[in-house]
Chain A
Amino acid sequence: MPGPTPSNEAVIEISKLSTSFGDHLVHSGIDLEVYRGEIFALIGGSGSGKSTLLREMILLHRPDAGSIRILGVDLQTLGHGDADDETLALRRRWGVMFQHGGLFGSLTVRENIGLPLREHTGLDDALIDEIAASKLATAGLEPQVGVQYPSELSGGMMKRASLARALALDPELVFLDEPTAGLDPESAGEVDQLVRRLRDLFGLTIVMITHDLDLLWQLADRVAVLADGKVQGIGSMPELAQMDNPAIRKFFDGPRGRAAQEQGRLPHDAHSGREIGKSSWKTK
């Protein structure tokens, strides 16, 4: 029985990863590591391959070369089928929140959240409904939302419901694809707080793709900048702000970048000084 794990334990290790679609080279040698308990952000311009990288991490796309180890499992060694036992076991240990929610339109929100529990555990229906309601509350949604269908939700509620479903099996690792895209500033701020609270409460490791500069400054412990198929820089936002690489400068120069930087350095970011990866206590 291992005790709380050290904070420098790598949850995701990617090395020499390369991917191409036809002649188009998306990744040419990506190396990065994500540590347990940190909030890690992937940024990069459109077409820089961050979505593809995310899809490769969650086993929706196979890279051409290189290796990805997630939670100690080398993804290359897994069988190809979706029903492969090891693949299933690994998939249960992470949750994914898709950019457009990915909620099933034919199920209510509560059924959507309960679905992974219904599929993968032997719990009875009443208990699953209770747990789903609790996840709903964790994601900051009103109980009434549970009986609604995804098509009746607003954008922000959809993201929260999707997050609640991603958390249904208490994953160790959560992937967020554009958690604040399409949200008003207030909802975006709430998502921001929600993600931080989840990390602190459950000791989650969070990997997100985002363009939201505020979110990056407020929330991300470390950020990797992707461009030209490679990781151009990796580090906390203040560290990246010191670098001269033009691919990185894009995110700091220009009025939006500077404004977010100002914001991020105001005193209210007391959290940015915390140690990376408070050790996870949810161990099995």
Chain B
Amino acid sequence: MGRTPAAPAAITQSSPQEYVLSGAWTAQGIGAVTPQLDALTTPAGQELVVDGARIEALDTAGAWVLQKFLHRLEDDAKGVRLRALRPEFGRLLEAIRQQMADQERTLAVPAIASTTPLERLGRHFEAPLQQGFALLSFVGECALALGGCIAQPTRLRWRPILYNIRSAGFDALPIVGMLSFLLGVVVAYQGAGQLRQYGANIFVADLVGLSILREFAPLITAIIVAGRSGSAYAAQIGTMSVTEEIDAMRTLGIAPLDLLVLPKLLALLIVLPLLTVFADALGVFGGMIMARTQLGVGFGDFLDRFVKAISVTAYLLGVGKAPVFAAIIAVVGCFQGFRTRGGADSVGRQTTRAVVQSIFLVIVADALFSVAFSALDL
């Protein structure tokens, strides 16, 4: 470092009326001396002398502590004299003294107004309500923009739509395929034990077919896409709004909804059903493999039974849910992105919200579909 490190700040009492200060009164050095200063009891009503000759270094933090100490002595004692302080330290101490006086005059920073539990409870419920209304109005805006685009197809931007189809759809094929394949394997494996007991091995085709086509494939695809693309939408739009790109877009006369939201929405509406079909195929394939190894049901037998047992309705119901899920994921992702305020922190928070809320809403929607389908006897 090129300089000798000074000893830490210290205070000693050489006589009842005299304190000797020494060492480095700096942010690094005063750690140990502050509690000592606070604990010091001073004789009241006497003339005190503080010797500063051996102070080796002084910075703002040290000066602040020293000034506070002197202040306290002055309150108790008749008079305090600071002796032999280096003139340059004296200047800093004086500046700090003035600052302290100013601060006392302007009073302490007003504490954030404390809230009652009732108020907090109210705010706690108000926030989600407000967010719900904002989401509704966002859905409305998107619907209007979509309507406008349909009325006037030239407004549609094909390039971002195609780009989103690739990034949200084509690039997701491996992960979606892999997971639904594994899901098919698991479903067949879990069912195998039970079916074997009753010698109903062939019904594995019913089990795998119905569960994958109606429920698992649309749901797992939607969840993966929410995690992959919904989060990306929120983060992209959130960062753009932090860096004022959204505002810039508005001032240039480009509707952010047209450029940022509709392409994503349309792309997902196209892509999610296709991904679901892909997931259907691989899920059933996984089930077939498991059926052959565990239950001895060959591919031919499986497919024979599959065609008889599974109606086209089951397949269409599953694929039919996908556009609804797609709309939920795209709208929630973009909505949370637009709600980003402030900085990097907020981008992270909104992205998390986008994923959590879209998965939550997807599952709620799936449950509602189940209720509706059973009411309709589908």
Whether B64 and A137, one on each chain, are in contact in the complex, defined by CB atoms closer than 8 angstroms, is: no
Q: Kindly specify which of B96-104, B145-153, B279-287 makes contact with the partner chain.
A: B96-104
Does B27 have its Cβ within 8 Å of any Cβ on chain A?
yes
Whether B342 and A170, one on each chain, are in contact in the complex, defined by CB atoms closer than 8 angstroms, is: no
CA gap between A133 and B24 in the complex, in Å: 22
Does A72 have its Cβ within 8 Å of any Cβ on chain B?
yes
Whether B57 and A143, one on each chain, are in contact in the complex, defined by CB atoms closer than 8 angstroms, is: no
Known contacts being A130-B64, A143-B106, A170-B60, is A284 close to B6, with CB within 8 Å? yes
Which of A105, A137, A282 sits near B59, CB closer than 8 Å? A282
Whether A133 and B103, one on each chain, are in contact in the complex, defined by CB atoms closer than 8 angstroms, is: yes
CA gap between A109 and B59 in the complex, in Å: 21
Does A83 have its Cβ within 8 Å of any Cβ on chain B?
no
Does B74 have its Cβ within 8 Å of any Cβ on chain A?
no
Does A259 have its Cβ within 8 Å of any Cβ on chain B?
no
Does A146 have its Cβ within 8 Å of any Cβ on chain B?
yes
CB distance from A199 to the nearest CB of B (A): 13
Whether B57 and A284, one on each chain, are in contact in the complex, defined by CB atoms closer than 8 angstroms, is: yes
Which residues from chain A contact B110 at a C-beta distance below 8 Å? 144
Which residues from chain A contact B28 at a C-beta distance below 8 Å? 120-121
Does B123 have its Cβ within 8 Å of any Cβ on chain A?
no
Does A51 have its Cβ within 8 Å of any Cβ on chain B?
no
Which of A147, A151, A284 sits near B341, CB closer than 8 Å? A151
CA gap between A156 and B60 in the complex, in Å: 24
Which residues from chain B contact A4 at a C-beta distance below 8 Å? 88
Does B346 have its Cβ within 8 Å of any Cβ on chain A?
yes
Which residues from chain A contact B82 at a C-beta distance below 8 Å? none
Which residues from chain A contact B65 at a C-beta distance below 8 Å? 127
Does B343 have its Cβ within 8 Å of any Cβ on chain A?
yes
Does B34 have its Cβ within 8 Å of any Cβ on chain A?
yes
CA gap between A73 and B3 in the complex, in Å: 11
Whether A105 and B342, one on each chain, are in contact in the complex, defined by CB atoms closer than 8 angstroms, is: yes
Whether A89 and B1, one on each chain, are in contact in the complex, defined by CB atoms closer than 8 angstroms, is: yes
Whether B343 and A143, one on each chain, are in contact in the complex, defined by CB atoms closer than 8 angstroms, is: no
Of all chain A residues, the one with the shortest Cβ separation from B342 is: A151
Does A244 have its Cβ within 8 Å of any Cβ on chain B?
no
Which residues from chain B contact A44 at a C-beta distance below 8 Å? none
The digit string for B98-127, where 1 denotes a CB below 8 A from any CB of A, is: 011011001011101000000000000000
Of all chain B residues, the one with the shortest Cβ separation from A149 is: B342
Which residues from chain A contact B57 at a C-beta distance below 8 Å? 282-284
Known contacts being A71-B2, A170-B27, is A282 close to B58, with CB within 8 Å? yes
Which of A1, A134, A283 sits near B60, CB closer than 8 Å? A134
Known contacts being A73-B1, A151-B341, A281-B88, is A123 close to B61, with CB within 8 Å? yes
Does B95 have its Cβ within 8 Å of any Cβ on chain A?
yes
Which residues from chain B contact A117 at a C-beta distance below 8 Å? 27, 61
Whether A133 and B27, one on each chain, are in contact in the complex, defined by CB atoms closer than 8 angstroms, is: no
Which residues from chain B contact A106 at a C-beta distance below 8 Å? 343-345
CA gap between A78 and B295 in the complex, in Å: 67
Does B26 have its Cβ within 8 Å of any Cβ on chain A?
yes
Does A186 have its Cβ within 8 Å of any Cβ on chain B?
no
Q: Besides A123-B30, A147-B109, 12 other CB < 8 A contacts? A: A121-B27, A121-B28, A122-B31, A122-B32, A127-B64, A133-B103, A133-B109, A138-B99, A202-B92, A282-B88, A284-B6, A284-B56
Name 9 A/B residue pairs within 8 A (Cβ), A-sorted.
A1-B4, A106-B343, A127-B65, A131-B60, A143-B109, A151-B342, A281-B88, A281-B89, A284-B6
Residues of B within 8 A of A (CB): 1-6, 24, 26-28, 30-32, 34, 56-61, 64-65, 86-89, 91-92, 95-96, 99-100, 102-103, 106, 108-110, 112, 341-346
3 nearest CB pairs, A to B:
A281-B88, A105-B343, A122-B31
